[in-house]
Amino acid sequence: MSERLQKFLAKAGLGSRRKCEALIKDGRVLVNGKVAQIGISVSEHDEVIYDNNIIEASIDEIKLIALNKPEGVLSSSVREKNIPIVFDYLPNLKNKRNWISIGRLDINTSGLMLFTNDGSFANYCMHPSNIIDREYLVRARGEFSLDKKNMMLSGIEIDGEIHKFTDVVEGEKTEVINGFQCV
């Protein structure tokens, strides 16, 4: 089976596909003894060399990990100031490939996040055409009514596309008194 050279290089741990495209454009990659060009495909039968090192095809098993992201942690791979990031909580992979986050949560939100080492799987999970339902628990102030629920279910138009909830379920009313949550 063949695949694009930049994908092959990325899977081998040389960096993102964009970084690998830059390596190819810079003439640092040879395929079967010839300087590689963007857009070519390679298979396990081709000899790929980067900076005089033979690059082996990556045959890693697909890994998936679930993390309960705590509040106050960024869903980012880029550190800002001294704020912890979700990748601080993940184990190191033995190869050079990085974990890929499947979705994001804001800094003030806690909840389930998935990570994988397989970009195709991550893309499948995140792409809107696959219609994977996500469930959120939201705490809001004010009174909840049938009118508000119907407005939420009818959605909002953004850039000509309707975005809406598939279901809204009213939960138990709680109150915080002296730092304790009361039902």
**Domains in the chain: ranges and CATH:** 3-55 (3.10.290.10), 64-137 (3.30.2350.10)
Average pLDDT over residues 116-125: 82
Say which range, 4-13, 94-103, 107-116, has the weakest mean pLDDT.
94-103
% of the chain at pLDDT higher than 90: 34
Residues carrying an active site annotation = 106
Among 118, 58, 67, smallest CA distance to 91 is for: 67
Quote the pLDDT of residue 97: 54
Mean pLDDT over residues 101-118, rounded?
90
pLDDT greater than 80 at residue 95: no
pLDDT mean across residues, the chain? 85
**Is the pLDDT assigned to residue 136 strictly greater than 50?**
yes
Q: Where are the beta strands (DSSP E) in 119-163?
A: 156-158, 161-163
Q: Distance of alpha carbon 48 from its chain centroid, rounded?
A: 28
- The pLDDT of residue 182 is above 90: no
- Label residue 84 left, alpha or beta by phi (over 0 means left) and psi (-120 to 50 means alpha): beta
